[in-house]
Every structure is written in C-alpha cells, then in structure tokens.
Amino acid sequence: MKKSILLLVLLIGELFATSKMEYEINFIGMKMDYKEYGQSGRLLDSETSSFSDIAGSEFIYRYFLDESSFIDLDFLGVSGNSDYTGSYIGSNLGYGSVVSSTANTIYDAALAYNKLNTTSFENIQVLGALGIGYRFWERQLSSTQIETYTWYSLRARVGVVYAMNKRFTFSVLGEYQYGINPTMTATGFSSDFELGSANIVQISIPLRYKISERIDIDCVYVFSRQDIQESNRIYDNSGTAYYEPDSTAYNQYLKVGIIFKY
C-alpha cells in the first residue's frame, strides 16, 4: 500500500515537472459604444467612452496537455465611466434630453480547451477552441438606478497563428459567445428582467514577442459586438409595464501584457 501511494506521488510529481504552463497578465483599456433601441428602432440612449475611461486587467493561466493542445482559464475585470446620452424613464422629451455619466463594472471569466493543428505552410497553424464562460456587467446610471446584466455562455473560437520568425507570432482569432439564461436586475424591481438573448461576436489580433525562454510580451487588439434582445415585461403596482429594450454594443479593447512560461 505504501509503495502504491509513493508511486502515485512520484507519477503526479513527474507530470507537473514535465508539464508546460503559462501565466499571462494584461493591462486593458476599453472603448465603449453602446446603444439601446425602442421597438420602432428609435434610438433611446447611448453610452460612449475612450480607451482611458474604462480600464482594468486580465489574468490568463494556460496548462499544456501536449505540444498542440492546452486548457486556458481567463479572468478579465475593467471599470470606469462612460458618457450617457438619453432621457428619463417615462419622459417624452426624447433622446438627448439627459446627459450624464455612468459607472461601469465588467467581469468576464472563461474556461476553454484549445487545439492547434499544423497546415501545409510551415509557419502557420490553425487554432480551434471550445469553452464556457460567465459575464457580469453593472451600470450605475445614478445612486438610485443600478442595472446589472449577467449570463453564462458557450464559446467557440477559431483562428490562424502565424510565426513570423523565431520571436514574433501574429494571430487572428474569431470567437462566438452564445448567452445562456441572460438576465438583468434593476433597482426598484423585485423581479429580474429575462433577456431575449445576449450574444457576443469578437475578433482578436494578438502580437506576441519572445524576450527569453521564460518571458514573452504581447499586445492584443479586440473588436467585440454584443447584442442583447428585448426582455419580458414587468408591471408595477399601477399596471405600468417596463422592459429592457434591444441593444447593441461595439466595444474595443487594447491589451498590453507579459507572459511567464514554466
């Protein structure tokens, strides 16, 4: 029995000793362009920001199963203010009658299995990945009006990885995130708004440079489109109906970071 336990410990130790891992830390600036639309397609309100207005960081852990496949765990968090243009709920003054600032907090977590496949071109590989994720977005429009969007998602990613030389790697990656059970909670409502859908399509362009055998640096540009579909109706005590309208967000991210390889 003792020999079996010792053998198991040695095997686990050997596995971790020979396994390849990476830790990546990125600093992020996010540019927001968010718009909500009424049922007739009329613009209701918008949120905009520059890359310096909303910022944060990202941590990625990669565990390589072999030379061509790995699992990654990704956590991103950003916060900051965006410029709001819209109107008060129930007001007939229309878009632009209210201009203010919204405090935003966004968290995104994902776990994915990735597979690299060689091609007939020596320096080009094709990447495919499947995973799951969770997204949290809080909009504090005022001290008395806070909206929080949350959903899980199934995620699929494909792309091309091009080794320009022994140090530079350039990639183009496309990802689709299908939202599961998307909801929104809002101050003053006891029930959640059930969103019709919440899906994201994004393109990432990472550029990676090898400093040494243990350290790389990277720069990543991400263009993301988020679509949220109109929610169900929730009624107050007077019988007035409220709902979360359709919205589209074109968000951009700039990431600069460092990668530690073990």
CB 25 within 8 A of CB 219: no
Secondary-structure class of domain 20-261 per CATH: mainly beta
pTM above 0.95, yes or no: no
| Mean pLDDT estimate for the chain | 92
Segment 187-194 mean pLDDT? 91
pLDDT band at 122 (very low <50, low <70, confident <90, very high): confident
Domain ranges of the chain: 20-261
Cα–Cα distance list, 115 to 20, 71, 118, 157 (Å): 15, 9, 10, 10
168, pLDDT greater than 60: yes
2, pLDDT greater than 80: no
What does the alpha-carbon distance between residue 63 and residue 73 come to, in Å, rounded to a whole number? 9
5, pLDDT greater than 70: no
Task: Give me the residue label for tokens 């977590």.
Answer: 109
What does the alpha-carbon distance between residue 108 and residue 73 come to, in Å, rounded to a whole number? 11
Q: Please give the pLDDT value at position 15.
A: 47
Segment 219-244 mean pLDDT? 93
207, pLDDT greater than 70: yes
Segment 126-130 mean pLDDT? 98
203, pLDDT greater than 50: yes
pLDDT band at 88 (very low <50, low <70, confident <90, very high): confident
Percentage of the chain lying above the pLDDT 70 cut: 93
Q: Please give the pLDDT value at position 56.
A: 98
Angle CA(129)–CA(75)–CA(108) in degrees, nearest 5?
A: 85
Q: Mean pLDDT lowest for which of 12-16, 27-31, 98-102, 167-171?
A: 12-16
pLDDT band at 238 (very low <50, low <70, confident <90, very high): confident
185, pLDDT greater than 80: yes
Segment 101-110 mean pLDDT? 98
Cα–Cα distance list, 259 to 65, 88, 156 (Å): 18, 46, 23
Percentage of the chain lying above the pLDDT 90 cut: 79
191, pLDDT greater than 50: yes
Q: Please give the pLDDT value at position 1.
A: 54
CA 60, 219, 260, 166 torsion-angle sign? positive
Instruction: Name the more confident of 93 and 44.
Output: 44
Residues near 202 by Cβ (< 8 Å), separated by ≥ 6?
174, 175, 177, 222, 223, 224, 225
Q: Please give the pLDDT value at position 19.
A: 67
Q: Please give the pLDDT value at position 190.
A: 85
259, pLDDT greater than 90: yes
228, pLDDT greater than 80: yes
